[in-house]
Amino acid sequence: MMHFPSLLFEVITWIYLMYGVAVFLIYIWVGIYALGAVIRYKKQNTFTDYSIIASNPNAPTFSIIAPAYNEGKTIVENVRSLLSLYYNRLEIIIVNDGSKDDSMRRLITEYQLEKVSFYVQGNIKTQEILGIYKSENPAFRKLIVVDKKNGGKADALNVGVNVSSGDYLVCIDVDCILEQDSILKLAKPFLEQTDKRLIACGGIIRLANNCKIENGKVTEVNLPKSLLGRSQALEYIRAFILGRMAWSRASGLILISGAFGVFDREIVLACGGYDPKTVGEDMELVVRMRRYMEEKKERYQVLNIPDPLCWTEVPESADILKKQRNRWMRGTMETLWKHRKMMLNPKYGKLGMVSLPYWALFEFLGPLVEFTGYICFILFLVMGIINWQFFFILLALVLSTGFLFSIFAMLVDLVSHKVYVKRRDFLRLIGTALLEPFYFHPIVVRSSVRGFIDYFRNSNSWGEMTRQGFNAHDDSLPFWIRLRGVLRLGLQKWGVLASVLLFAFLLGVMAEWAWYNSVFPNFDSKSVVEHLLWNNTLFIFKILTGLGALYLVLYLWKKKLANKIAIIGISVLIMVQIMLFIYFAESHNLLGADVLYYNAAEIQQILEASGMLTLQNMAFILVLISAIVWGVYKASQRTFRSPFIGLVLTVIGIPLLTIPSSWLSFKFPASSSDFEQTAGTSKWNYFLNSNIEDFISQHQEITAFINKPETKTLSPEIIDSNYPFWRKEDTPDFLGPYFEKSSTMPNLVLVIVEGLGDAYSNPNGYVGDFTPFFNELQTKSLSWNNTLSSAGRTFAAIPTLTGSLPFGKRGFLEIRKTPDHFNLFTILKKNGFETGFFYGGNSSFDNIKPFLQYSQVDHIIDEYTFDSTYRKLPENNGESWGYEDQAVFRKALEEPFTQNKPYFKTILTLSSHNPFKINDFSYFEKKYNEKLHSGTLSSEQKKWALDNKRQLISILNADEALRNFFTDYRKRSDFNQTIFIVTGDHSMPEIPLQDKIDRYHVPLIIYSNLLKRPHKFRQTVSHFDVAPSILAYYRENYQLKNPTDVAWVGRGFRTKPSQDPTGIPIMQSKNQLIDYVKGNYHLSGQQLFQLEKLKENAVDQSAMLEKIKYSFDEFKKRNAEFSRTERLFPDSIVSNYEKQKIPVR
C-alpha cells in the first residue's frame, strides 16, 4: 500500500509548492510593476516645481491630525516640527487622548494656548471632548489642540476628523517627523485628479532610528544600529517601494499606513470615520472608503507616491516588535472578516476580486502557511519521510528568492530616492537581506501566528453568548422561557460544533477523493467525487440532525456533559470516517458490522500484514487524533451570536431522514465499474446501516417487533420445518460419465487458490490471463468458467466447498459450537480416507480450525507446523501472513500419509492475499512484464494490468507454485489415482470489479488422469455444488457410504440453471447476505441484474425482481431459522451415520 503519511506528504508538498509558486509569481509581478510605477513617477516629477502649490490661492486645505498619548517628553518638539511645514492652507490638530502625563500642560505653556468655545461640526461618535485649545499667538494660528477622554488611537483620530475643517486629512502619529515639503508633494496628486476622485494617498515612510534629528528635522540619515532595526528598514523598503507602489499602480491599494496618510475628509465623514473597535484602523478605514465608493459606483483611486515623506521610530526590541506584528495580524483579520462580504464579490471590482483575496491569501495566510509548513516539516522529519534533496533545493530557492526580492527593492529604492547614501549602510543592508530570514523573519511569523490565535481568543468575531435581557439560570423566569433560552444557547453552541463537524467531514470527503485519485488513477474521478460528496452530504446532514437533537437534550440536562460528548462524538466520527475510507482503499471492501466478527488478534493480524500498523502511520494517526480533538475542543469553547446556524444544521436532516434514500440517489454513468460505484458511497453511512441491521438481526425481539409474524413456508422436500435445510440426499452423479472407472478409490485433492478470480485467470476476462499453467490445465480438465463462490471473502470457502453448508448468521465458521453436519472430511474419513488440511497461515483465522477439529481432520497443517526449510512470505512491517504457496504445496506433498489408503487433502493458498508480498518478486515481475509485452493482452486489459501490478504478480506466483505442485505430483505413483479440484475462494476485491458479480466469479476445474476427456461447461455453478457432486460420484462409482439425510445448499452440478430450485445465495461479507443468483438473474441489494455468461446488466423487471426476491427471502428465512437453532438436523441423523459400520477398502 501507499502509506498514508507518504500520500499526505505528497499532497501537502504540492499544496505548499503551489502556494510558493503563487507567491513567487506575485513577487515577480510586484517587482516589475513597482519598478515601472517608480520610474514613471520619477520621470513625471523631475521638473515639478512644488512651490507653485504653496502660492496657489486655490490649493486645497489640509488638516493634520496627530493623536498623542503620554508623549509629554517630545510633544512640544513634535508640534514645532509640524508648524514648520511648508504649506499655507493647513491646520494642525493635536488630539491629546487622555494622556496621564503633562502633555497638555506643556502644550498650553509652550504655545500660549487658551480654551475656546469650539463648535465641532463632525458627527462621528467619540469619547467626550474635555476642551479645545487655540493659541493667542498668531504664529501658532494653525494649531488646534483637543483634550479628550482616553479612547484609543482611532477614537482620537475621529475627534480630529470631527474638529477638522480642511478638504483633506493628514493622519499621522505625533512622533513622526514629516519632510518639510511632504504636504506639497501630497497635494500634487490631489490637484492632478480629474475624472477619478483621489480618496486616500500615502507616501514612503522611513526609519528615524539612529538618524540625526535637529529642530524636528532629519539632518543625517543612518541605518539603525541593531539587526532588528535594519531588518525593518529593509522591510519598509520592500513594503513601500515595491508592495504599495505596485498595488497603487494596479488600483488595488487597501492600506495607507496609520503613521502617515492623507484622506478625503468628505468621504471619511460619509463612512463614519475610523472604527475604534479594530486594532487595524488604518487598513479598515481605507477598505471602508473604497467600499463606500464602490457601492456609490463613483470612480476613485487610492495612491501611494514613492517620495519619502515621513520618518518614524520602529521598535528595536523584540518584545515590542512582537506586539506590533501581533496587532497588525489581528487588524488584518478584523478588516478581512468585517468586509468579508466583498471577498470575491464581482460587484466590488478589483477590491473584491483582487485586493481582498490577495490580502487574505498572502498577507493574512502567509505567516500561517509558513508556520504550518514548519510544523509539517518537523512531523515529516519525525516520520522520516523527508526527501532531503528536494528539501534543500526548495530551501535554497525560498531563501534566494527572498534575498533577490530584498536587493531588488534596494535597487528600485536607489532608482527612486537615494536615502541610504553611505557605502557602509548600503553594504549592511545587503548583509541584512542575507541574515533577515534567520532572525527577523521568524519573529514576525511567530508574532503573526500569535496574533492569529489572540484574535480568536479575544475577539467577538466568532460570537459570544448573547445574554442581553436574559439569564438562563434565572429561576424566577417561567419554565418555558427558561427552556427556550437554554435551547437558544444550546443551538448557538451547537452551531459552532455542527459547523466544525460539517467542515471537517467534508474536508475528509475531499481527502477521500484525493486518496482514491492517487491510488486509483483510472477512476472516473468526476462521478466518484459527485457521488462521494452527495452521499456523504446527505449522511452528515442526517447525522447532524441526530447528534443535534441528542446534544440539545443533553445540553438541557448538563451542559458540560453535552460538550464533552460532542467533542468525543465528533472526533470519533471524523476519525472513523478516515479509517473507513482507508480501509476501503486498501481492501476494496466496505467495512460494515463484519468488523465485529473478527477478534482482536485477527484484526491486529490484518492490520499488521497489510502494513497499516507502521510507526509512521501510528504517529500520523496520533497527530490526527490530537488535531481533531484539539480543533473540536477549541470549537466547543466558541458560540455563535445567533442560534440560526445551529437550528438550520439540526433541522436540515429531518426531511432527508423521511425521504426514501432511493429518491435521493442518482445513478453512475453506465460505463462506471462496480468498484467506482462502491467508492462513491458514503462509507460511514454503510458502516452505520450495517451495524444497525446487525444489531436488529441479533435482537429477535426487535426483529419480531419490526416484522410481521409469518407462517413458515415449506418446500415439499423439507422434512421438518425446524430443520429447514434437512432433506434427503438425491444428488445425481454428474461426474461419473466423465471418468474412467478405477480399480481403487481415487484420492481427492481440493486446491483453493486465494483470490483466484475469473477476470485474470481467463484470456477473455477483463484483466486477461495471468495463470498460464492453470489455463493449460484447464484445457485438460472438466472446467466451469462460470462458477460462483459463496462469499466475497475466504470465510465461507471451506464450509461451502467441503460441506455445501448454509451460512447461519455470519458464516458457518462463526457459529460458536460447530453444528452437527456432514462434509467431505467427515464423510470421506468415515469411508476410510485419511484427511488433511494444508494452509500457510494461522488456521485459527476465520475459525477454520474448530471446523477442522470437528471434522476430525487427520493432518491439520498451518503456519505453526512448518519447519525452517520452508519459506515464509516476506514480512510487511515485521508481520508475515505465513508460508508461501510453494511451501504449502511442498508440505502437502511431503506430509506422510498412510500408504494404500485413500486420502482427501484440502490446500488453501495464501500468497495472493493483500498486501501481495511474495518472495522472488523480481522474478515474477519479469514474468509480469513479459506477459504485458506478449501481445496477448488487449489495450483495455493492459490498462487494468498496469493498474494492478502487485496483485497480478502474486497471482503469477500462485500459478507457478501450482505448476510445480503438479510437476512434482506427476512423479508420484498416486498421481494417476487422484482427482484434483482447483478453484478460487473468491475474486480479489483489490482488483477493481467491473460488475458486482465479478467479486464471486471464479474458475473451477476438475483434473485427473482418470478423466476420459476434458470438457468445458457453460452453465453457472457454485461452490455449493462441489461437495454434493463429488460425494455423488464416489457414491455411485465407488460405493461410498453417504448419509441419506443431508443439509446441502447445493444440488450438485447440473446442465441447466433452471434445474436449480434453491438458487445461489452469496454473502459479500460476514454480515452481508445481499447477493443472490437464480437462473439468469442476480439480485444485489435491491437491484436486479440479468446475467449472460456471468456478465451482468441492470434490468428494471419488477415482476422478476419480486420473484427473485421472494426466492431469496425463502432462503433467508431458512437460514434465519438455522441461525436461531444452530442445528441442521436432529442429532440422530449424524449419530446414526457415525454408528454405521463401513468396511475398510
Nearer to another protein among residue 52 and residue 507 (C-beta): 52
Nearer to another protein among residue 388 and residue 663 (C-beta): 388
Q: By CB under 8 A, tell whether 194 contacts another protein.
A: yes
CA separation, residue 391 to residues 14, 378, 787, 1059, 1060 (Å): 13, 12, 53, 68, 65
Q: Which stretch binds another protein (CB under 8 A): 222-230, 398-406, 729-737, 906-914?
A: 398-406
Q: By CB under 8 A, tell whether 219 contacts another protein.
A: no
CB of 293 to another protein, least distance (A): 18
CA separation, residue 179 to residues 157, 184, 1058 (Å): 21, 10, 102
What are the cell numbers at 635?
Answer: 470549537
Q: By CB under 8 A, tell whether 714 contacts another protein.
A: no
Q: Which stretch binds another protein (CB under 8 A): 386-394, 518-526, 587-595, 932-940?
A: 386-394
What are the cell numbers at 458?
Answer: 479575544
Rounded Cα distance between 863 and 866, Å, is 6
Please identify which residue in 219, 389, 658, 1102 interacts with another protein, judged by CB under 8 A: 389
Q: Which stretch binds another protein (CB under 8 A): 241-249, 396-404, 660-668, 687-695?
A: 396-404
Q: By CB under 8 A, tell whether 971 contacts another protein.
A: no
CA separation, residue 46 to residues 38, 42, 43, 52, 416 (Å): 12, 6, 5, 15, 11
Q: By CB under 8 A, tell whether 388 contacts another protein.
A: no
Q: By CB under 8 A, tell whether 633 contacts another protein.
A: no
Q: Cis bond leading into 709, ω under 30°?
A: no
The length of the chain is 1145
| Beta bridge partners of residue 311, listed in sequence order | 177, 206
Could you tell me if 256 and 286 are in contact, meaning their C-beta atoms sit under 8 angstroms apart? Answer: yes
Cell 468488523 belongs to: 595
Angle made by CA atoms 11, 14, 20, in degrees to the nearest 5: 145
Could you tell me if 275 and 154 are in contact, meaning their C-beta atoms sit under 8 angstroms apart? Answer: yes
Q: Where are the alpha helices (DSSP H) in 258-364?
A: 265-271, 281-296, 318-338, 349-350, 356-358
Could you tell me if 448 and 328 are in contact, meaning their C-beta atoms sit under 8 angstroms apart? Answer: yes
Q: Which stretch binds another protein (CB under 8 A): 92-100, 269-277, 410-418, 982-990?
A: 410-418
Q: Which stretch binds another protein (CB under 8 A): 389-397, 767-775, 825-833, 868-876?
A: 389-397
Helix orientation angle between 615-636 and 4-44, rounded to the nearest 10 degrees? 60
What are the cell numbers at 39?
Answer: 520610474
Contacts with 588 (C-beta within 8 Å, 6 or more apart), sequence order: 675, 678, 988, 989, 990, 991, 992, 993
Rounded Cα distance between 94 and 65, Å, is 6
Nearer to another protein among residue 24 and residue 975 (C-beta): 24
Please identify which residue in 119, 479, 663, 705 interacts with another protein, judged by CB under 8 A: 119
Site string for another protein, 514-553 (x = CB under 8 A): ----------------------------------------
Which parts of 41-70 interact with another protein (CB under 8 A)?
43-44, 46-47, 49, 51-53, 56, 58
Q: By CB under 8 A, tell whether 568 contacts another protein.
A: no
Contacts with 80 (C-beta within 8 Å, 6 or more apart), sequence order: 215, 216
Could you tell me if 434 and 399 are in contact, meaning their C-beta atoms sit under 8 angstroms apart? Answer: no
> Do the strands 1015-1017 and 782-788 form a parallel or antiparallel pair, or are they unpaired?
parallel
CB of 297 to another protein, least distance (A): 19
DSSP readout, 536-568?
HHHHHHHHHHHHHHHHHHHHHH-HHHHHHHHHH
What are the cell numbers at 82?
Answer: 509640524
Please identify which residue in 410, 532, 593, 1134 interacts with another protein, judged by CB under 8 A: 410
Q: By CB under 8 A, tell whether 221 contacts another protein.
A: no
CB of 401 to another protein, least distance (A): 6
CB of 519 to another protein, least distance (A): 17
CB of 775 to another protein, least distance (A): 36
Is the dihedral angle over the CA atoms 324, 329, 334, 335 positive or is it negative?
A: positive
Q: By CB under 8 A, tell whether 121 contacts another protein.
A: yes
Site string for another protein, 424-463 (x = CB under 8 A): --x---x---------------------------------
Q: Where are the alpha helices (DSSP H) in 699-767?
A: 700-706
| Beta bridge partners of residue 113, listed in sequence order | 135
Which of 1071, 994, 1074 is closest to 678 using CA atoms? 994
Please identify which residue in 343, 353, 394, 565 interacts with another protein, judged by CB under 8 A: 394
Nearer to another protein among residue 49 and residue 1092 (C-beta): 49
Site string for another protein, 488-517 (x = CB under 8 A): ------------------------------
Could you tell me if 155 and 126 are in contact, meaning their C-beta atoms sit under 8 angstroms apart? Answer: yes
Please identify which residue in 404, 443, 549, 595 interacts with another protein, judged by CB under 8 A: 404
Nearer to another protein among residue 116 and residue 603 (C-beta): 116
Helix (H) or strand (E) holding 82: helix 75-83
Number of H helices, E strands in the chain: 39, 28
SS3 (DSSP) at 170: strand
Nearer to another protein among residue 121 and residue 856 (C-beta): 121
Nearer to another protein among residue 24 and residue 969 (C-beta): 24
Q: By CB under 8 A, tell whether 130 contacts another protein.
A: no
Q: By CB under 8 A, tell whether 1056 contacts another protein.
A: no
Which parts of 8-37 interact with another protein (CB under 8 A)?
17, 24
Q: By CB under 8 A, tell whether 977 contacts another protein.
A: no
CB of 839 to another protein, least distance (A): 41
Could you tell me if 176 and 259 are in contact, meaning their C-beta atoms sit under 8 angstroms apart? Answer: yes
DSSP structure class, residue 478: -
CB of 407 to another protein, least distance (A): 5
Please identify which residue in 9, 67, 134, 793 interacts with another protein, judged by CB under 8 A: 134
CB of 942 to another protein, least distance (A): 21
Which parts of 87-116 interact with another protein (CB under 8 A)?
116
How many residues in the shown chain lie near another protein by CB under 8 A? Answer: 47
HSE on the CB side for 796, CA within 13 Å?
A: 30
Please identify which residue in 128, 219, 388, 423 interacts with another protein, judged by CB under 8 A: 423
Rg (CA), the chain: 41
Nearer to another protein among residue 305 and residue 342 (C-beta): 305
Q: By CB under 8 A, tell whether 296 contacts another protein.
A: no
Nearer to another protein among residue 53 and residue 286 (C-beta): 53
CB of 115 to another protein, least distance (A): 8
Rounded Cα distance between 541 and 498, Å, is 10
Rounded Cα distance between 1054 and 826, Å, is 24
Q: By CB under 8 A, tell whether 387 contacts another protein.
A: yes
Cell 553611505 belongs to: 422
Which parts of 162-191 interact with another protein (CB under 8 A)?
188, 190-191
CB of 860 to another protein, least distance (A): 49
Nearer to another protein among residue 420 and residue 944 (C-beta): 420
Q: Which stretch binds another protein (CB under 8 A): 250-258, 406-414, 675-683, 1019-1027?
A: 406-414
State the amino acid at position 1122 in one-letter form.
F
| Beta bridge partners of residue 749, listed in sequence order | 905, 980
What are the cell numbers at 1005?
Answer: 476445474
Nearer to another protein among residue 361 and residue 394 (C-beta): 394
List residues near another protein by CB under 8 A. 17, 24, 43-44, 46-47, 49, 51-53, 56, 58, 116-119, 121, 134, 188, 190-195, 387, 389-390, 393-394, 396-397, 400-401, 403-404, 407-408, 410-411, 414-415, 418, 421, 423, 426, 430
